[in-house]
């Protein structure tokens, strides 16, 4: 089965997400017809079965989404969305910063930079609900947390500061950066949930 994954390429870890999804697809035995490519405009999004919104700076990415006229196309996008760090901020319904215009795709309230500044970045082995093979080694960089989730949102993992991984339908949002390690289990879980 072939799948086309777009990575929002406005700012952030674009090449790292492309590489991680390519490794995940290869590990799952997808054919050469599957592809992972950058998305910069609405026409690119129309070719996608799934979209990754990478980490970066959420206020900057929010502004660039508007500038590139991607706000409504992403809101209407019928495929799954894989959002990490700043991406988790952007797909929430409520954010603690008025400069971020959330897309409202997962019913949750987000606290940006919940762990402090860049120097408070850290790594930890994180239990993730339903993930086989043991804890996931998670890299947190100026990470957000969800402080509240609505009906239909499954909490996959939390730390004392708040919720750091959720799923809702085809969407997955993570406060950390799975694309920076070699473990593609969360990318693969997301792809399996697409049911393409």
Among all residues, which ones are annotated catalytic?
85, 177, 179
Task: Retrieve residue 178's tokens.
Answer: 């799975």
| Non-local CB neighbours of 60 within 8 Å, separated by 6+ positions | 10, 11
The pairing of beta strand 162-168 with beta strand 171-174:
antiparallel
Kindly state the DSSP code that residue 134 receives in the 8-state scheme. Answer: S
Kindly state the DSSP code that residue 105 receives in the 8-state scheme. Answer: -
Of 75, 10, 74, 78, nearest in space to 38 by CA: 10
What CA–CA distances, in Å, run from 115 to 29, 155, 179?
A: 37, 19, 20
**CB count, 10 Å around CB of 42?**
15
Distance CA 48, CA 45 (A): 5
């Amino acid at each position: 089965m072939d799948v086309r994954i777009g990575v929002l390429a406005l700012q952030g870890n674009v090449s790292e997400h492309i590489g991680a999804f390519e490794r995940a697809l290869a590990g799952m035995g997808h054919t050469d017809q599957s592809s992972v490519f950058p998305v910069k405009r609405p026409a690119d999004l129309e070719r996608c079965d799934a979209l990754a919104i990478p980490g970066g700076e959420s206020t900057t990415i929010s502004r660039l989404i508007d500038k590139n006229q991607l706000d409504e196309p992403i809101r209407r996008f019928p495929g799954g969305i894989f959002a990490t760090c700043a991406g988790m901020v952007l797909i929430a319904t409520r954010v603690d910063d008025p400069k971020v215009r959330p897309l409202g795709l997962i019913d949750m309230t987000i606290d940006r930079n919940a762990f402090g500044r860049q120097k408070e970045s850290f790594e930890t082995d994180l239990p993730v609900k339903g993930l086989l093979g043991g804890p996931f080694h998670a890299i947190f960089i100026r990470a957000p947390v969800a402080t509240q989730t609505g009906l239909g949102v499954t909490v996959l993992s939390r730390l004392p500061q708040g919720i750091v991984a959720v799923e809702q339908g085809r969407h997955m949002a993570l406060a950390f950066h799975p694309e920076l390690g070699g473990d593609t289990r969360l990318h693969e879980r997301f792809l399996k949930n697409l049911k393409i």
